[in-house]
């Protein structure tokens, strides 16, 4: 393209009128910083009123449109006063006056590149109808295009800079709202207000630098919301929430990108202030990979009630300084937080609040996942696995819980294998397909003395792995709520289903010991020594009915002792023969002991021989012991003591 003249000349107007490209930059085609436009001379000045008249002038016929491109000299003036449907294309100009196109019907596309708007007033296109509006690299003091109807793109990027508010509220853009690489500054206020905008081709803020609020409330787009590598800073706001990006109720047909540049060249996405995605509807993924979200003391991300058809990615360098809220969100894919850092600075805030979240796929809080302030999956629904392998779960200094799964439902398996754990894990009323952990899971990665606690009442699972029965019983004893029968019953039932009869009995016996070990109330404290003595007898003699064969040990011991004792008693003359017994019948201590010890044995030894002195006392004790052991044996076999 031939160079355009760069001296004051009426030919500029003629060329613009003919649809030619007018490039007033020192080197046509090369980008210049329009921020230096106040130093440009009059040879680059173009009146805004002329541009407005040119953009709204009715187009003429084909003859006016036949110009193939820009020309110079007298020939360019041919057809003066004619108009063209070709774009008004101007670069490197100093625009004087106010460009006001409110409610105008633009008959030609608008393309202003690297232009500096001299007037302190904003460019106005409120209620206008246009083909495309392209302002790449332009510097201006605000842009008002509320309710704009554009048949193509609206480009406010590639070096576009606004030192005032940009408004496109309620606009309908059949192309894209392209703010890639734009700079938007309105310290303490709204930098970009696109609430209610409809952009069929997408909302693009890739690499944008924003100082102030970006407002996308109820915006709709048929494409993406792409903020890759963007920096949204509203930390200077006096509002308590300091919202950097407000996309409440936004509807995005494709994905939302609040991520670092995957190629590593564009830097990371950063939000200094809250990012609000409440009740957002996302047709693809929510990708926050490598993004930085900072709102210390408040919420860094608020996605309450969000519906995301794809996967939510908060991984690989994702960092949130403030609460991340996914309360009530619905996720059609996975929730991937592996390698993400979640921190909160307040005791009343969680590092990750995913209460009532519904995830059709897997939830990954693994591989250097780092949560400092507690993670809540209360009443969550997970259609796949929940993996905590290699993650860190640390409560806040004033908090209690490291991880809450109260009422959660995980269809498949939970792999609870963190590298670091500080705080209580709440598993009450949770339902999982399988549970896997190890002793190191609860000892802060092998640091005994700072062991974590657990709450287990109502926790159900179909399989459990990772510990021996003895270790698992020690795990049950960590319960902050003290003894409850359900966790023991659940563990015993799983052992029973898996064919581990010994393990099931071991758990049930341990439950009986736990149930009796702690007194409840004043009366229990008075009776406690006697109750513990009786508990010891039940455990030693029959294992509370789960090991009834143990009763044979005291019976055998008493029988052996009786044989020896009564034989010595007979030698001392303490066993006397009855008068009805002939002298040819000898005394047998074994048969005599059995007749005393076995109730209803009917061996006749007690009628043939009777004891006197100490032997008589011992015989009475043996008779009572026999009845007691028999009663305990019957009770054990019938399950009287199996109360769990």
DSSP string, 368-412: S-EEES-EE-TT-EESS-EE-TT-EEE--TT--EEEE-TT-EEEE
Per-residue pLDDT at 67? 36
- Answer yes or no: is 424 within a domain: no
Q: What is the mean pLDDT of residues 79-83?
A: 44
Tokens 């390698």 locate to: 339
Q: From CA 281, how far away is CA 431, in angstroms rounded?
A: 29
Residues 157 and 273 in one domain: yes
Per-residue pLDDT at 413? 96
In 196-269, which ranges are continuous DSSP H helix? none
Kindly report the average pLDDT of the chain as a whole number: 85
Q: What is the mean pLDDT of residues 228-254?
A: 93
Per the model's pLDDT, the better-predicted residue between 297 and 1 turns out to be: 297
Residues 167 and 277 in one domain: yes
- DSSP E strand boundaries for 16-72: 21-23, 45-47
Q: 303 in helix, strand or coil?
A: coil
Q: From CA 156, how far away is CA 321, in angstroms rounded?
A: 30
Distances (CA, A) of 490 to 380, 425, 463, 507, 577: 21, 18, 10, 10, 59
CA angle 286, 292, 298 (to 5 degrees): 95
- Give me the residues paired with residue 104 across strands: none
Per-residue pLDDT tens over the stretch 247-303? 999 999 999 999 999 887 878 999 999 999 999 999 999 999 999 999 987 899 999
Domain end residue (candidates: 259, 284, 309) = 284
For the ranges 65-69, 265-269, 400-404, the maximum mean pLDDT occurs at 400-404
Q: From CA 83, how far away is CA 406, in angstroms rounded?
A: 71
Residues 157 and 40 in one domain: no
* Spatial CB neighbours of 137, under 8 Å, sequence gap ≥ 6: 31, 32, 34, 113, 114, 115, 158, 159, 160
- Portion of the chain with pLDDT greater than 70, in percent: 83
Q: From CA 456, how far away is CA 514, in angstroms rounded?
A: 15
Residues 97 and 173 in one domain: no
- Give me the residues paired with residue 308 across strands: 282, 331
CA angle 639, 640, 642 (to 5 degrees): 60
Q: From CA 633, how far away is CA 623, in angstroms rounded?
A: 15
Per-residue pLDDT at 503? 86
End-to-end, the C-alpha distance of the chain in Å comes to: 91
In Å, how far from its chain's centre is CA 482?
Answer: 29
Q: From CA 170, how far away is CA 565, in angstroms rounded?
A: 104
Residues 148 and 279 in one domain: yes
Per-residue pLDDT tens over the stretch 177-190? 999 999 999 998 99
Per the model's pLDDT, the better-predicted residue between 74 and 295 turns out to be: 295
Residues 154 and 94 in one domain: no
Neighbours of 414 (CB within 10 A): 24
Q: 418 in helix, strand or coil?
A: coil
Residues 69 and 176 in one domain: no
Q: From CA 349, how far away is CA 295, in angstroms rounded?
A: 12
Per-residue pLDDT at 131? 94
Look up residue 456 and give its two tokens: 């287990």
Assess whether pLDDT exceeds 80 at residue 137. Answer: yes
Q: Nearest CA to 221 among 174, 268, 271?
A: 174
Tokens 């897997």 locate to: 362
Per the model's pLDDT, the better-predicted residue between 99 and 527 turns out to be: 99
Assess whether pLDDT exceeds 50 at residue 79. Answer: no
Residues 159 and 276 in one domain: yes
Q: What is the mean pLDDT of residues 505-531?
A: 68
DSSP state of 37: G
Residues 244 and 169 in one domain: yes
Per the model's pLDDT, the better-predicted residue between 495 and 3 turns out to be: 495
* Spatial CB neighbours of 14, under 8 Å, sequence gap ≥ 6: 76, 77, 80
pLDDT band at 107 (very low <50, low <70, confident <90, very high): very high
pLDDT band at 541 (very low <50, low <70, confident <90, very high): low
- Answer yes or no: is 54 within a domain: yes
- Answer yes or no: is 505 within a domain: no
Per the model's pLDDT, the better-predicted residue between 247 and 482 turns out to be: 247
Q: What is the mean pLDDT of residues 59-68?
A: 44
Task: Pick the range with the lowest mean pLDDT from 117-121, 289-293, 518-522, 612-616.
Answer: 518-522
Domain end residue (candidates: 229, 259, 284) = 284
**What is the per-residue DSSP string for 623-642?**
HHHHHHHHHHHHHHHHTTT-
- Is the distance from CB of 390 to CB of 365 less than 8 angstroms? no
* Spatial CB neighbours of 222, under 8 Å, sequence gap ≥ 6: 199, 200, 201, 202, 253, 254
Tokens 């896997």 locate to: 436
In Å, how far from its chain's centre is CA 211?
Answer: 28
Q: Nearest CA to 380 among 394, 400, 360?
A: 360
Q: From CA 524, how far away is CA 97, in angstroms rounded?
A: 92
- Answer yes or no: is 361 within a domain: no
Per-residue pLDDT at 519? 57
β pairing state of 609-611 and 575-577: antiparallel
Q: From CA 86, how far away is CA 19, in angstroms rounded?
A: 5
What's the domain range around 64?
1-105
Encode burial over 239-251: b for 16+ CB neighbours within 10 A, e otherwise.
eeebbbbbbbbbb
Per-residue pLDDT at 29? 85
Domains held by the chain: number: 3
Residues 155 and 271 in one domain: yes
Q: Nearest CA to 214 among 276, 152, 121, 154?
A: 276
Q: Nearest CA to 299 among 331, 279, 327?
A: 327
Per-residue pLDDT at 334? 97
- Answer yes or no: is 178 within a domain: yes
Assess whether pLDDT exceeds 50 at residue 81. Answer: no
Task: Pick the range with the lowest mean pLDDT from 222-231, 401-410, 440-449.
Answer: 440-449
- Answer yes or no: is 251 within a domain: yes
Domain end residue (candidates: 262, 284, 306) = 284
Task: Pick the range with the lowest mean pLDDT from 71-80, 200-209, 413-422.
Answer: 71-80
Q: What is the mean pLDDT of residues 216-229?
A: 97
Per-residue pLDDT at 554? 74
Assess whether pLDDT exceeds 60 at residue 7. Answer: no
- Answer yes or no: is 362 within a domain: no
Residues 20 and 87 in one domain: yes
- Give me the residues paired with residue 278 across strands: none
- Is the distance from CB of 271 to CB of 293 less than 8 angstroms? yes
Residues 1 and 79 in one domain: yes
């Amino acid at each position: 393209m031939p160079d355009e003249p760069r001296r004051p000349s009426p030919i500029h107007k003629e060329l613009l009128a003919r649809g030619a490209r007018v490039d007033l930059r020192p080197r046509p085609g090369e980008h210049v910083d329009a921020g230096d436009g106040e130093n440009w001379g009059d040879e680059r000045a173009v009146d805004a009123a002329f541009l407005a008249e040119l953009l709204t002038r009715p187009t003429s016929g084909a003859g006016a449109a036949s110009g193939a491109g820009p020309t110079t000299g007298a020939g360019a003036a041919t057809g003066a006063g004619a108009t063209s449907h070709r774009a008004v294309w101007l670069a490197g100009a100093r625009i004087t006056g106010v460009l006001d196109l409110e409610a105008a019907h633009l008959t030609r596309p608008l393309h202003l590149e690297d232009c500096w708007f001299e007037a302190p007033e904003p460019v106005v296109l409120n209620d206008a109808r246009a083909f495309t509006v392209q302002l790449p690299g332009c510097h201006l003091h605000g842009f008002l295009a509320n309710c704009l109807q554009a048949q193509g793109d609206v480009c406010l990027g590639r070096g576009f800079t606004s030192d005032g508010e940009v408004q496109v509220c309620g606009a309908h853009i059949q192309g894209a709202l392209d703010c890639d690489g734009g700079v938007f500054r309105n310290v303490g206020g709204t930098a970009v207000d696109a609430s209610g905008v409809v952009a069929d081709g997408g909302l693009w803020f890739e690499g944008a630098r924003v100082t102030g609020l970006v407002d996308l409330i109820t915006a709709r787009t048929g494409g993406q919301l792409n903020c890759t590598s963007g920096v949204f800073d509203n930390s200077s706001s006096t509002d308590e929430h300091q919202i950097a990006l407000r996309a409440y109720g936004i509807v995005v047909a494709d994905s939302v990108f609040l991520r670092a540049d995957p190629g590593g060249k564009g830097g990371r996405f950063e939000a200094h202030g809250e990012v609000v995605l409440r009740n957002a509807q996302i047709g693809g993924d929510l990708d926050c990979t490598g993004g930085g979200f900072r709102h210390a003391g408040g919420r860094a991300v608020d996605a309450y009630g969000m519906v995301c058809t794809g996967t939510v990615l908060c991984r690989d360098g994702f960092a949130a300084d403030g609460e991340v809220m996914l309360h009530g969100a619905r996720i059609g894919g996975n929730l991937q937080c592996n390698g993400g850092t979640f921190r909160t600075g307040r005791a009343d805030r969680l590092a990750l609040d995913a209460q009532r979240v519904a995830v059709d796929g897997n939830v990954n809080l693994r591989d250097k996942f780092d949560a400092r302030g507690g993670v809540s999956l209360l009443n969550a629904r997970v259609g796949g696995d929940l993996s905590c392998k290699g993650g860190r779960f640390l409560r806040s200094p004033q908090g209690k819980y490291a991880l809450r799964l109260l009422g959660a439902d995980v269809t498949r398996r939970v792999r609870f294998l963190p590298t670091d754990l500080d705080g209580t894990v709440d598993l009450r009323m949770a339902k999982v397909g399988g549970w896997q952990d190890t002793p190191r899971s609860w000892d802060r990665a092998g640091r005994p003395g700072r062991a974590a606690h657990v709450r287990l009442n109502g926790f159900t699972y179909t399989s459990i792995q990772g510990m021996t029965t003895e270790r698992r019983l020690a795990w049950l004893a960590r319960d902050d709520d003290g003894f409850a029968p359900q966790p023991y019953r659940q563990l015993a039932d799983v052992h029973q289903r898996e064919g581990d009869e010994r393990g099931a009995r071991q758990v049930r016996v341990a439950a009986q010991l736990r149930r009796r070990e702690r007194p409840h109330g004043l009366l229990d404290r008075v009776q406690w020594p006697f109750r513990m003595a009786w508990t010891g007898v039940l455990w030693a003699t029959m294992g509370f009915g789960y090991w009834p064969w143990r009763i044979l040990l005291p019976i055998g011991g008493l029988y052996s002792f009786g044989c020896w004792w009564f034989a010595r008693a007979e030698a001392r003359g303490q066993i006397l023969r009855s008068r009805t017994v002939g002298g040819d019948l000898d005394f047998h201590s074994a048969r005599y002991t059995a007749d005393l010890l076995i109730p209803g044995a009917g061996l006749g030894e007690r009628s043939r021989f009777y004891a006197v002195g100490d032997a008589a006392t011992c015989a009475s004790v043996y008779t009572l012991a026999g009845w007691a052991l028999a009663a305990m044996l019957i009770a054990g076999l019938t399950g009287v003591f199996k109360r769990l």
